[in-house]
């Protein structure tokens, strides 16, 4: 029998790794692996998801702390779509996924983990990445370490400056 080793998940399961305050507001102050920030622009930022659904899972958020799409300016809306596009282009070139899940969850009832600061999820997908482990065991196997994905994607987000 083979074991799936993902020790970084334990801090999430036990709730020990949750920072005080909003992760997106904190991320807009700096760029680096410690806060998983890929890049910060005038209106938006992109960062890795610390607890990804799949390797390469990127979060794109406005810098401004808003929960509703209607609260965004046209410039912020354009920045969000630009960064979602940038994320998909970077992943397509570097990871060669066969598709993407792109979306946002608005409100707790919709599954938002951080409901007070809206953000898009950009998740690369491959045929077979959801298999029996996910369906039966509620376990997802992520083949690439978070730091490796970060180092791979980081150069693409220099365009945000």
Two structure tokens written together for 76: 């912020």
Dist CA 99 CA 106 (whole Å): 23
User: What does each C-alpha distance from 57 to 20, 30, 89 come to in angstroms?
Assistant: 22, 20, 13
Two structure tokens written together for 160: 């945000």
Dist CA 51 CA 72 (whole Å): 26
Catalytic residue positions? 119
User: What does each C-alpha distance from 44 to 76, 85, 151 come to in angstroms?
Assistant: 7, 13, 20
């Amino acid at each position: 029998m083979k074991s799936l080793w993902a020790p970084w998940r334990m801090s999430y399961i036990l709730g020990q790794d949750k920072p005080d305050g909003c992760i997106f507001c904190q991320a807009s102050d700096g760029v680096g692996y410690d806060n998983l920030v890929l890049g910060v622009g005038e209106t938006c930022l992109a960062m890795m998801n610390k607890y990804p659904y799949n390797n390469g899972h990127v979060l794109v958020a406005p810098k401004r702390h808003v929960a509703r799409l209607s609260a965004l300016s046209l410039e912020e809306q354009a920045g969000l779509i630009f960064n979602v596009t940038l994320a998909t282009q970077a992943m397509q070139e570097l990871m060669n996924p066969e598709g993407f899940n792109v979306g946002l969850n608005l409100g707790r009832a919709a599954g938002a983990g951080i409901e007070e600061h809206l953000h898009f999820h950009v998740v690369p997908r491959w045929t077979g990445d959801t298999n029996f482990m996910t369906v039966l065991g509620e376990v997802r196997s992520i083949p690439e370490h978070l730091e490796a994905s970060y180092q791979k994607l980081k150069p693409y987000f220099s365009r945000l400056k």
